[in-house]
Structure 1
Amino acid sequence: MLKLPKSTCLGLGAALGLAFLFAGCAKKETQLHATIDTSMGQIVVRLLDKDAPKTVENFIGLADGTRLLDEGEDPANAKPFYDGLTFHRVIPDFMIQGGDPAGNGSGGPGYTFEDETYTEGEPLTGKIGDEARAEYVFEQWVVPHLREHRGQSPVEFIANLFGEMQQAQGFDPMYDVTVEEVAAALGKEEPLEGRGELINSVDYGTLCMANAGPNTNGSQFFIVTKEGGTPWLNGKHTVFGVVLSGMDVAEAISQVPTQGPDMPVEPVVINSIRVNEVKVKVEKTTDEPSEA
């Protein structure tokens, strides 16, 4: 028998009436939707702010221009970053890429930030030992260091290790090295968190960050137009949205005539990107346990 709290101020009939009323209603939740208005039509994307909060925050801040304001500057001075940029790289049955102020794939907002591809794992310690761990340590710590120094490390330990890896054409020289040795050589004080679970896969219709390697996100993004997605990119690019409508527009953009490095002959312009909060109905599950 259904038991009602003694403190309820509703009569049994009223309570049952309300229960019946709400049982037939769908729940509502607030979502962030981005409308990408292009010279070929509109693409509407749901932003995955719970899965990739930093990436979504950056995208919104660039879209409305507030991300590039100086501290304390009047928001009225904000200039939407993406307005007037283009989809500079399009490949049929693969993806369309945009958001570069340089228009050729080399530009960005003037800063970079980290990936949001895996949940946090346990800190890595001890001997590196195998290829998977070696590749991870190399990508997360060594690559940014080498990029900063244009491939020529001033740190003897790292320079020698990288030279051995080049000779071996693989990660084998890292197997007997410890994570602590690499950390000490690079002056890392915080532990390196291992990979947890993959947050989202790079599927058909997903909105993802483009990058130049691990943790080099800026302003460039791409939408996947390949049926079945691109599993070889899983974990390498942050997935921060999914297309709700306008995939026909994205696919049409991917098919335009190109020249040079997959650049459209006629520019495909991003007129604007605007983000809004939208309340949407979510289907209520019918298999919730009931109390007898």
Structure 2
Amino acid sequence: MADIVVKDYGTIQVALDPKEAPLTCQNFIELANDGFYDNLTFHRIMKGFMIQGGDPNGDGTGGSEKTIQGEFQSNGVDNKLAHERGTISMARSSDPNSASSQFFICDADDPFLDGDYAAFGHVVKGMDVVDKIASDAKPLDNNGTIAKDEQPVIETIQITEE
């Protein structure tokens, strides 16, 4: 389990699925436990699609010091998780093995992402927080870019055992 604590919004609780995406879960857990995500933001928000965060640059260009293998079907990995409302998945560039620290949470069913992005868990509590973040967002463009001073802040991500 991961508790994503968002300033002024609340907590999004996510059940991770290391059976389907072991490398992705391990990477996310290590970054969370190292405090990497503390005070980063959701920099890209598109209501009816997803909220994306975990970039130290706050603009979609950054990541941690390492990248991981993309755990999804088009990259040779049998990950059965679907991108449905509440799914957490890794963002990446066009390189299938470029995922690092950026993640997104689907606020709608996004089946067109299935097989091409590494889903690694599902929100079990706090979809109201995801919905509020998506509803409050005022994107600057059609790509969901959020002004720096309006990006919701991830206070911390706490990994808990269940």
TM-score (normalizing by structure 1)? 0.51
Decide whether aligned partners of structure 1 residues 257 and 207 sit closer, same or farther in structure 2, where only a CA change above 3 A counts.
closer
Decide whether aligned partners of structure 1 residues 258 and 235 sit closer, same or farther in structure 2, where only a CA change above 3 A counts.
same
1:117 deviation in Å?
1.5
Asked if the contact 1:38–1:271 (Cα under 8 Å) also holds between the matched residues in 2, the reply is yes
Asked if the contact 1:205–1:224 (Cα under 8 Å) also holds between the matched residues in 2, the reply is yes
Which protein is richer in helix relative to its size? 1
Q: Which amino acid aligns with 1:111?
A: K
Task: Give the share of equivalent positions with the same residue, in percent.
Answer: 41
Of residues 42, 55, 59, the one that matches 1:100 is 55
Asked if the contact 2:45–2:137 (Cα under 8 Å) also holds between the matched residues in 1, the reply is no
Of residues 22, 25, 39, the one that matches 1:56 is 25
Mapped partners of 1:257, 1:35: distance in 2: 21
Mapped partners of 2:56, 2:24: distance in 1: 18
Decide whether aligned partners of structure 1 residues 257 and 200 sit closer, same or farther in structure 2, where only a CA change above 3 A counts.
closer
1:49 deviation in Å?
1.1
Of residues 16, 26, 32, the one that matches 1:47 is 16
Q: 1:248 is matched with which residue?
A: 128
Mapped partners of 2:78, 2:5: distance in 1: 34
Mapped partners of 1:233, 1:94: distance in 2: 11
Deviations 1:142-182 (A, max 9, x none): xxxxxxxxxxxxxxxxxxxxxxxxxxxxxxxxxxxxxxxxx
Mapped partners of 2:119, 2:24: distance in 1: 9
Asked if the contact 1:209–1:237 (Cα under 8 Å) also holds between the matched residues in 2, the reply is yes
**Residues 23-172 of structure 1 mapped to structure 2, 5 A cutoff:** 33-39=1-7, 40-65=9-34, 80-118=35-73
Q: Which runs of 5+ in 2 are unaligned?
A: none
**Residues 259-270 of structure 1 mapped to structure 2, 5 A cutoff:** 259-261=139-141, 262-265=144-147, 266-270=150-154
Aligned length: 156
Asked if the contact 1:256–1:264 (Cα under 8 Å) also holds between the matched residues in 2, the reply is no
Decide whether aligned partners of structure 1 residues 250 and 110 sit closer, same or farther in structure 2, where only a CA change above 3 A counts.
same
| Partner SS for 2:26 | helix
Asked whether 1:271 is paired with 2:128, we answer: no
Q: 1:212 is matched with which residue?
A: 93
Asked whether 1:222 is paired with 2:108, we answer: no
Q: Which amino acid aligns with 1:83?
A: D
Q: Which amino acid aligns with 1:222?
A: F
1:198 deviation in Å?
4.7
Mapped partners of 2:36, 2:137: distance in 1: 26
Q: Which amino acid aligns with 2:98?
A: T
1:51 deviation in Å?
1.1
* Aligned-residue RMSD, C-alpha: 1.6
1:196 deviation in Å?
6.7
Asked whether 1:234 is paired with 2:121, we answer: no
Asked if the contact 1:117–1:200 (Cα under 8 Å) also holds between the matched residues in 2, the reply is no
Asked if the contact 1:41–1:249 (Cα under 8 Å) also holds between the matched residues in 2, the reply is yes
Q: Which amino acid aligns with 1:255?
A: S
Deviations 1:56-105 (A, max 9, x none): 1100100011xxxxxxxxxxxxxx00000000000111100000000000
TM-score (normalizing by structure 2)? 0.90
Q: Which amino acid aligns with 1:209?
A: M
The structure that has the greater radius of gyration is 1
